[in-house]
Amino acid sequence: MSLKKKPLKSKPVCKVTFTLAKEQAKGAANVHLVGEFNDWEIGATAMRKQKDGAFTATVDLPTGREYQFRYLIDGDVWISDPEADKYAFSPFGDCENSVVTV
């Protein structure tokens, strides 16, 4: 898994590409990126499966803040990103959310 950040020069936005590696996806049929940037809407941001079995999604995020997120595999399994900028405790599910800082 990884986060790639590409700040735009023309406006205060950063293009963030979220990647869930094939090993983490564990043969998933679909993966969704769920977080503060899409109001935790489960189906809002579907990730695209790549030829190598990884899943990716690119989101434009306003700069100057942090966003919590997680990955939802096949509508059933929630996982955090081990390469996130940091983590924040979530009272929902008694787990840690991944955090990206832009």
Q: Are 35 and 80 in contact (CB under 8 A)?
A: no
Domains annotated for the chain, with CATH where assigned, are: 2-101 (2.60.40.10)
Indicate the pTM of the whole model.
Answer: 0.93
Q: Is the dihedral of CA 23, 27, 31, 35 positive or negative?
A: negative
Q: Tens digit of pLDDT for each residue in 54-79?
A: 999 999 999 999 999 999 999 999 99
Q: Tens digit of pLDDT for each residue in 1-42?
A: 589 999 999 999 999 999 999 999 988 999 999 999 999 999
CA distance linking residue 54 with residue 48, whole number of Å:
8
12 backbone dihedrals φ, ψ, rounded to 5°: -80, 65
